[in-house]
Amino acid sequence: MTRAAIVILAGTDGHSNLGRLVNGLEAAKEFAEHPDDDDELLFDGAGTQWIPELEDPDHDYHDLYAAVKDDAAACDYCSGAFGVADAIADAGVVTVDDHDGHPSVRDLVADGYEVVTF
C-alpha cells in the first residue's frame, strides 16, 4: 500500500500555477484509482482559492476535481486568510486545523505519507 498526501499550494494566478494544479489533481486521481493506496488531497495556502473556481461546472478542470473531491480537505486558517472559507464550506470540503489552524505535515509524515507538493 502506498500512502501519499498531495498538497496544492499554487494560487490561481498565472498559467504555470494552473499547470501545477492540474498536475496535482492528476496525481491525486492516479492514487485514487488504486484501491489499496491511501491518499489525501490538501488545498493549502493560496491553493485554497482553487476550490470555489473548480466547483464551477464550466471550469475546464471541474470534472478532474470532481473525480478526487471526496478525498479533499482545505487548510482552515488559509481558507479564511484567502477569503474563501464560506465558498469552501458551501462546497462541502472539510477544513483541517491540526496545528495552529493548519494541516499537520508532521502528522502526515509520522503516519507514513509521502508528502508531494504542487
| CATH of residue 89 | 3.40.1260.10
User: What would the mean pLDDT of 49-68 be, rounded to a whole number?
Assistant: 98
CB 10 within 8 A of CB 17: yes
User: What would the mean pLDDT of 24-43 be, rounded to a whole number?
Assistant: 96
- Considering the entire predicted model, what is its pTM? 0.96
Rounded Cα distance between 7 and 114, Å, is: 11
Residue 65 has pLDDT above 90, yes or no: yes
How high is the mean pLDDT of the chain? 97
The parent domain of residue 58 ranges over 3-117
CB 11 within 8 A of CB 46: yes
So what's the pLDDT on residue 1? 87
User: What would the mean pLDDT of 84-98 be, rounded to a whole number?
Assistant: 98
Give 53's pLDDT tier (boundaries 50, 70, 90).
Answer: very high
Number of domains in the chain: 1
